[in-house]
Amino acid sequence: MTSAVLDASVVLKWFVAHGEAGKAEALDLRRRFADGELDVVVPSLLVIEILNVAGRRWGWGEQDLVALAAALDALPWMVSEAPSVTTARWVARGLTAYDATYVAVAEAAASKVVTADERMLATAPDLTVPLTR
């Protein structure tokens, strides 16, 4: 795989300190991305999702959230927005609008979403690959 859409379940693991399942695989994707071996495509929604988790679930304060936002903005990934009609089709198949956005971006980019999200993997098996095998 030389190009991939990464969802928040993967990119979040780049920033969390404690041991999460799939962290090693996520960090390997980050290394491949940093080394130019992997082109990463994301919807702008990814940054919003990550900031939400860091602020709400992890309890990060303003200084840490601003630093995280700056780090995310500095990453040289390609930001691509999903066609609303394609997103709507995936919502109709059972995905949240957020998850449907990643799948729709992958479909438009002729790529696949790397994810740890079981529902996304089950609903869009031709457009997703699991973070861990």
The first and second tokens of residue 53, run together, are 């988790």
127 exposed, middle or buried (CB, 10 Å; 0-12, 13-18, 19+)? buried
Would you mind telling me the total number of residues written for the chain in this entry?
Answer: 133
Query: Residues of 75-95 as b/e, b for ≥16 C-beta within 10 angstroms?
Result: bebeebebeeebbeebbeeeb
Whether pTM exceeds 0.75: yes
pLDDT tens by residue, 5-56: 999 999 999 998 677 789 999 999 999 999 999 999 999 999 999 999 999 9
| pLDDT above 80 for 1 | no
| pLDDT above 70 for 68 | yes
Q: Mean per-residue pLDDT for 101-106?
A: 98
Return the SS3 of 16. coil
| Distance, C-alpha 29 to centroid of its chain | 11
Domains of the chain, first to last: 3-130 (3.40.50.1010)
Contacts 24+ apart (CB under 8 A), 51-59: 53/8, 53/12, 54/15, 58/16
| pLDDT above 90 for 133 | no
- The proportion of the chain whose per-residue pLDDT surpasses 70, expressed as a percent, equals 98
**E strands, the chain, where?**
3-6, 39-42, 78-79, 113-115, 128-130
pLDDT for res 16: 83
Q: Mean per-residue pLDDT for 52-67?
A: 96
